Structure 1
Amino acid sequence: MASFLVAYKSKEGQTAKVAETIASALEQRGHEAHPMSVTQWTNADSIADYDAVLLGDSIHMGRHAKKMIRFARDHRDELAERPNGFFQVSLSAADPDDEDGKTESVTYIHEFIEKTGWEPDQIGVFGGALRYSEYGFITRYMMKRIARGNLGITDTSQDHEFTDWDEVETFATDFAVLVETQLGGEGGTEESAA
């Protein structure tokens, strides 16, 4: 059994939901998984306490959160010492057939790598959500304009979720297999050891 840290930065809650789903999938394979917002991270916490680490962040207004960029940059050497990965949640990835959205998502990841100096072993990109119920007036107005142009969605009376949960679970399973292989087959279920 391996110990996983799933550290994330979430603004309206979708990235936290993705992190919890990943942690649950890892636990189903027999591992310990600890989802934690980077805003909860203290000087008493240590990446050295974990066998593997996943970081997750969302895109807002075309940018990653400064706190996640700083966290990855500050811990990049510790991350490189163990299996690691990164997942990104954004509206750019909401439509899997949108080539412009895919290009935009890749651009955000390259910018993140450039700003942090950290090269993740595995990367996942997932569609996000429009959380109109969480937005203030100005943000709601701006997001409605963006969604109308990119996704054709104008209904602000409800939230809209674009995350492919099967894809999230597949990412978690693939990362678990990577970790199990790198740690010499430690951990995992009987099925993963077969």
Structure 2
Amino acid sequence: MKNLLKGVLMIGLLAFFACEGPPGPPGFDGRDGRDGLDGTNIIGEVLEIGGVNFTSANNFSSDFYTINPPIETGDKILVFLLWAEIDGEDLWRALPQTNYEFSEGIFTYNYEFTRSLVRFFVDGTFNLGLLTNEFTRNQVFRVVIFPAVLVSENARLDLTNYDAVMELMGKSETDVVKLNPRD
């Protein structure tokens, strides 16, 4: 009787695994790009704008620079100012950057942007004409277009740390796009 029961169970198991039903619904396509949308590859971009001068003639404000193509809705723009060079390495500071060195008051480097334009300006609590050329001539800025998907995935990232932002985006100095200077 035991052998008969074992035989019936074996035949039942074989019949169960040998059955084939209709195919199920198709699965989702693979993820193309970081956001998972077909045809979209979000990698971010880094633009360098050098030779920016702030004078009373331009109201201590640069021209608008074109971001082409325009940034995607939700992406973040980060701007860094070349502050110094230490042991052959550039030291970048995130904007807005406030300077407290002057007895006359404080001044701040700042920026404003749209999806397709960015400009830089200096604002302060005293006559900005008193600033020396060190602070107003040939300033260099890096504009980092930071994809929204990276912002949401890395909420704890210090976005004021230029090197950390570049590392997360997988960018190096060779990836920086240099734009022509303007007065």
TM-score interval w.r.t. the shorter chain?
Answer: under 0.3
Q: TM-score, normalised by structure 2?
A: 0.26
Bigger helix share: 1
Structure with bigger RCO (C-alpha 8 Å, 6+ apart): 2
Q: For the pair shown, which has the larger CA radius of gyration, 1 or 2?
A: 2
Q: TM-score, normalised by structure 1?
A: 0.25
Bigger strand share: 2
